[in-house]
Amino acid sequence: MSVSKKQIYQQCHEQILTLVEGESDEIARMASVVGVLHHALPHFFWTGFYRRSEGGLVIGPYQGSVGCLRIKMGKGVCGTAAETEVTQVVEDVSAFPGHIACDENSRSEIVVPVFKDGVLIAVFDVDSTEIGSFDETDQECLESLLKEVF
């Protein structure tokens, strides 16, 4: 029987919590989230964080092709997630007004806001090369993981 996407998320969740246990550095924690998920989930083509910085968002850590370095609040899918503080699940990026195409191979995307002590510190962005790759399972699993890690 093949392993479901939810089961992969559950295994990653445990692995990440073990990896970051006792580590207070936020970037080390983010790098662990990216490093585990990017290689475990086949639909993760670009996986990374945009951190809150100087009134906007700045890239890193990430894995995948070269991403745009800075994104303004409210711009693109990441800036929208950061401004609204609501997860964005985009079935087809070409239909999202203002989508920022860092890599033209990206076809669908999920962006989850990341909070620490109730304050937005980053967004977690994943791109796929297929349309409609992300669903409620991705949203629920990522939101619950990020709540626990930060």
Binding residues for ligand SME, rule: CB under 6 A, are: 46, 67-68, 71, 76-79, 99-100, 102, 106, 109, 125, 127
CB atoms < 10 A from the CB of 89, how many?
A: 18
Nearer to ligand SME by Cβ, of 13 and 34: the residue is 34
Residue of 113, 117, 104, 110 lying closest to 47 (CA atoms):
110
Nearer to ligand SME by Cβ, of 13 and 99: the residue is 99
Nearer to ligand SME by Cβ, of 7 and 65: the residue is 65
Report the nearest approach of ligand SME to the CB of residue 37 (Å). Answer: 15
